[in-house]
């Protein structure tokens, strides 16, 4: 009887539909997927048809990989697995093993995948930026530029320098670069050869990218963390998510301070970003906007589609930067989520009601690094009293906020009138969360 049950169970596994078997294999690490070859005769070669191959930290810890005495031998192990892989076209390939340095042996591997029509490639080398900058010479993989079926490319710690005859990635929709050296004409050359690009992320990349002119008719998501002097959006009609973050100078262990450059706030937001829904800015970029022409209290045309505004900083310490922030808030009548840094006493010379009385659509407010000033309490009060749709307020304190100031601030909040009965107040002091409905 037991034998019959075991046989029946084995038959069920052996006779699973191909799409279910593939789904199971895709959920398993490569090592475990290969082990399914022992389940039955029908499963012996199924793992070779999985449309994606992932070689990451988990793979590096397997016995198979541990038999490699050096990086070159490890790559040969990976190459062997790729050659055994029968799926055509290959959908996804990930090579992200901690400590792996790129060498000549990587190019033939990529070329093999390119010839099989690979659609998604991730190459991630090392983990530390210092090693990227000083530890070895970064490599450019010529074989990448023959992978013309690519729709997603993610590169960390290498080069992306296109050859003179490069025709472009006509199907590429997502490009993610971190610590990558790019062409001098990256924005006017490389990007123009990617007509379907929808997502572009560039973190701490090197090259002449400090004054980009971006023309990308299908671009929807843009994230930049680099040294900027200026930026122009020449044609981005559907760009809805923009993040421009502060460049971190690892050589001096501090933020890079913009030495020159300016951006006209009206030209940037009114004329160039008609579909903007989410905006995340660093303090350094606010300086560029503040250095432009006169910053108005409101933009001449409101940002009707902007729903999320986030400042990537813990403190806003100068009035010119604050005026840029106020302008963006006052120009966003449909703002739903607002994240801002501590304002210290910057608003004491301003009219709080006039600057912040635009919370009709606000649902979430986050203030980071408060010092317990009256202005910060006034802001919370205005949000509670003037935001009928408010669901949550999150306040985190600075390291200088003592217990007495916290008690005074919370007491002030408890007396606030509220417009929304669903507003939840979260106060985080020294890592401790105090949650209450005010």
Residue 3 lies in domain: 1-50
- Token pair 């790729």: residue: 82
Half-sphere exposure in the Cβ direction for 13 (13 Å, CA): 16
Which region among 30-39, 49-58, 95-104, 162-171 has the lowest average model confidence (pLDDT)?
A: 30-39
**How many domains is the chain partitioned into structurally?**
2
Question: Do 339 and 366 contact (CB within 8 A), yes or no?
Answer: yes
**Is position 103 within any domain?**
no
Answer whether residue 60 shows pLDDT above 60: yes
Question: Is 435 in a helix, a strand, or coil?
Answer: strand
Answer whether residue 386 shows pLDDT above 90: no
Structure tokens at 211: 């004054």
Looking at per-residue pLDDT, the higher value among 72 and 265 belongs to: 265
**Is position 29 within any domain?**
yes
Average pLDDT across the chain, whole number? 80
pLDDT for res 361 = 92
**Is position 377 within any domain?**
yes
* pLDDT tens column, 175-222: 999 989 998 889 888 999 999 999 999 998 888 778 899 999 999 999
**Is position 400 within any domain?**
yes
Domain's final residue, options 10, 34, 50: 50
* pLDDT tens column, 316-373: 777 888 889 989 999 999 999 999 988 765 555 455 555 555 788 999 999 998 888 8
Domain's final residue, options 29, 50, 71: 50
**Is position 359 within any domain?**
yes
Please state the rounded mean pLDDT for residues 8-12: 54
pLDDT for res 146 = 94
Half-sphere exposure in the Cβ direction for 68 (13 Å, CA): 18
pLDDT for res 379 = 85
List, in sequence order, the alpha helices (H) in 212-363.
265-266, 283-290, 319-330, 352-356
Domain's final residue, options 32, 50, 68: 50
Answer whether residue 103 shows pLDDT above 50: yes
Tell the burial category of 334 from Cβ atoms under 10 Å away from its Cβ (0-12, 13-18, 19+): middle
Please state the rounded mean pLDDT for residues 411-423: 86
Residue 4: pLDDT band by 50, 70, 90 thresholds?
A: very low
Who's near 24: CB < 8 A, 6+ residues apart? Answer: 16, 36
**Is position 417 within any domain?**
yes
**Is position 122 within any domain?**
no
Answer whether residue 86 shows pLDDT above 80: no
* pLDDT tens column, 143-176: 999 999 999 999 998 899 999 889 999 999 999 9
Residue 134: pLDDT band by 50, 70, 90 thresholds?
A: very low
**Is position 42 within any domain?**
yes
Please state the rounded mean pLDDT for residues 293-313: 92
**Residue 46 CB neighbours (<10 A):** 20
Radius of gyration of the chain measured on its C-alpha atoms:
27
Residue 132: pLDDT band by 50, 70, 90 thresholds?
A: very low
Percent of the chain past pLDDT 90, that is, above it, reads: 33
């Amino acid at each position: 009887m037991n034998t019959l049950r075991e046989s029946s169970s084995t038959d069920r596994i052996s006779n699973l539909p191909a799409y279910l078997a593939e789904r199971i294999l895709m959920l398993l690490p490569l090592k475990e997927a290969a082990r399914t070859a022992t389940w039955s005769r029908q499963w012996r070669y199924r793992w070779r048809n999985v449309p994606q191959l992932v070689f990451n930290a988990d793979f590096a810890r397997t016995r198979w990989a541990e038999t490699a005495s050096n990086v070159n031998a490890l790559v040969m192990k990976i190459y062997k697995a790729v050659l055994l892989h029968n799926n055509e076209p290959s959908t996804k390939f990930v090579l992200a093993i901690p400590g792996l340095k790129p060498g000549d042996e990587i190019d033939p591997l990529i070329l093999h995948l390119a010839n099989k029509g690979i659609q998604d490639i991730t190459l991630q080398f090392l983990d530390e930026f210092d090693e990227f900058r000083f530890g070895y010479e970064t490599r450019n993989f010529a074989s990448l530029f023959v992978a013309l079926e690519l729709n997603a490319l993610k590169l960390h710690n290498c080069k992306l320098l296109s050859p003179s005859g490069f025709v472009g990635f006509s199907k590429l929709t997502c490009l993610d670069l971190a610590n990558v050296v790019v062409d001098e004409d990256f924005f006017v050359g490389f990007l123009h050869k990617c007509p379907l690009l929808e997502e572009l992320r560039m973190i701490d990349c090197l090259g002449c990218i400090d004054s980009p002119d971006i023309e990308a008719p299908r671009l929807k998501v843009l994230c930049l963390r680099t040294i900027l002097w200026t930026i122009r959006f020449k044609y981005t009609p559907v760009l809805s998510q923009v993040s421009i973050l502060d460049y971190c100078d690892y050589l001096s262990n501090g933020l890079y301070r913009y030495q020159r450059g300016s951006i006209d706030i009206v030209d940037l937001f009114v004329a160039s970003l008609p579909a903007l829904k989410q905006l995340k800015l660093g303090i350094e970029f606010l300086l560029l906007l503040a250095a432009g022409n006169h910053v108005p209290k409101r933009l001449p045309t409101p940002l009707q589609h902007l729903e999320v505004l986030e400042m990537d900083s813990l403190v806003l310490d100068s009035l010119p930067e604050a005026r840029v922030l106020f302008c963006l808030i006052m120009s966003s009548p449909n703002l739903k989520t607002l994240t801002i840094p501590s304002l210290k006493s910057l608003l004491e010379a301003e009219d709080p009601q006039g600057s912040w009385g635009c919370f009709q659509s606000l649902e979430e407010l986050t203030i980071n690094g408060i010092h317990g000033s009256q202005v910060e309490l006034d802001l919370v009060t205005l949000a509670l009293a003037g935001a009928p749709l408010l669901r949550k307020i999150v306040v985190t304190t600075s390291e200088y906020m003592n217990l007495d100031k916290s008690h005074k601030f919370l007491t002030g909040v408890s007396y606030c009138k509220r417009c929304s009965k669903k507003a939840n107040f979260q106060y985080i002091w020294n890592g401790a969360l105090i949650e209450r409905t005010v």
